[in-house]
Structure 1
């Protein structure tokens, strides 16, 4: 294998013997390494093969932004799940869960409470995934000496539902891709400049939309009816909210279901983040 890009001292992008672009992790793997050099395979701990059509550069950038110990503990905690499912480990699921739990850990460390509005629905619709989610949260707490709330298993379960939801369903994947492209066109039209479509923030927005698809198809859209929160979001981000309403209208037509106010509010927050300086491309000349 040869190095294509060095993300940090522990994460590199490489080309394997089959010609695939893969993301490699290992302590010191990228230290003083340069593109074109052979990989020191004795330092490789994990080989990630981006699946679901994920861009390898984007995958590596996201992975490099997560603490290595968080990736490792999630990878280990998921092993029994893959064994029970009889499937090969999904690199995308490991990355998504590690990214989520890394943020959850920071949230707990700063005393910010989590919100888990779907616990009743998840417990009813996906009891197996919720059970696995609880096991994963327990494993993370045990391995890292943390105190993540047990209800953190709810979003973890949604990640696992999403992993199985998209398995082998190419028709749905193609449909989602078309809708994503249309959503990006709407945002670019609203702000009059292009999105940086290979950015980490776009990847996170896509992840949000993927889970939105899961919720729509399972009939569990977010619907807390928190009027005060919704009003605050509208007031803080009027242009993003106007854009989110346009996006919600398109999603409603494409998915043949009305979009709740809560889902529109979360779209608003994501669009507001994308519209911040440096998140969109430069204004066309």
Structure 2
């Protein structure tokens, strides 16, 4: 792969062996480089090809004239997300984060702030994405000397959620309602208070998050083997009774019943979180 044009230290237009042009981004990929140099493949973070979503001109334009320090921060945000989140990050997140953060920095300098109405839900239900958002605003404060409000950590988390490879951003409010209702059913059934920093609680919330996504998208989990379900029903009978209350709520409010597999997994998580 050879360089065709250097847009800045982090973005180049290159030509692949196939003859096709592409936009390559990566920290330092264009540093001290010129046309016809070989691309240092160890610097490549993402490649945008002409035959994909955007034209070459649009893609290169999106990354041109971006302050280098902000570009580096966005590269690091995506690197953190790729490393810490258990899913692929769609390449569209680079442009969306650059665009959002550029405006956020400008707004903040002018003393204008946008309240993130989903902040509480994001902090509780999408903790890993929010932690990356917090890390990002700390990096911006340290390197760009602009202190963004906590709301922006939530917005960054939303961009990461929206970049998931296999679908659109979830309806966080709807997911939150399902999770909170189930948490309340379990809480009042056993008269317990949750230790929200515990591993078991976080695993329970993660399970409920995926369950809520399946519920709201009418996706079902089933299997033909009922032996494990029956064993869980006997071993964790109290938790299974609580799961039955959850099932009644789901049936009443969402018009569907939990499968045996869903009852089994729910009972196991309830058993662990109530101990």
TM-score between the two structures when normalised by the length of structure 1: 0.49
Q: Which residue of 1 aligns with 2:91?
A: 91
Q: Where do 1:226-265 residues align within 5 Å?
A: none
- 1:48 and 2:46 aligned: yes
Q: Which segments of 5 or more consecutive residues in structure 2 lack a partner in the other structure?
A: 175-216, 218-275
Q: Deviations over 1:59-108 (max 9, x none)?
A: 21111142121011121233232112356665322332122112211211
- 1:214 and 2:212 aligned: no
**Does the 8 Å CA contact 1:77/1:140 hold for their aligned counterparts?**
no
Cα distance in 1 between the residues matched to 2:10 and 2:135: 28
Shift of 1:146: 2.1
Q: 1:138 to 1:127 in 2, by over 3 A?
A: same
Q: Where do 1:57-96 residues align within 5 Å?
A: 57-85=57-85, 90-96=90-96
Cα distance in 2 between the residues matched to 1:81 and 1:29: 23
Q: Where do 1:1-285 residues align within 5 Å?
A: 1-4=1-4, 7=7, 11-17=11-17, 19=19, 21-24=21-24, 29=30, 37-39=35-37, 41=39, 46=44, 48-50=46-48, 53-85=53-85, 90-164=90-164, 167-169=165-167, 214=169, 217-219=171-173
Paired residue total: 173
Q: Once superposed, what is the RMSD of the aligned Cα atoms? A: 3.8
**Does the 8 Å CA contact 1:67/1:102 hold for their aligned counterparts?**
no
Cα distance in 2 between the residues matched to 1:68 and 1:168: 30
Q: Which segments of 5 or more consecutive residues in structure 1 lack a partner in the other structure?
A: 170-212, 221-254, 256-285
Q: Which residue of 2 aligns with 1:201?
A: none
Matched residue SS, 1:50: strand
Matched residue SS, 2:147: coil
Shift of 1:161: 0.5
Cα distance in 2 between the residues matched to 1:88 and 1:20: 25
Shift of 1:137: 1.5
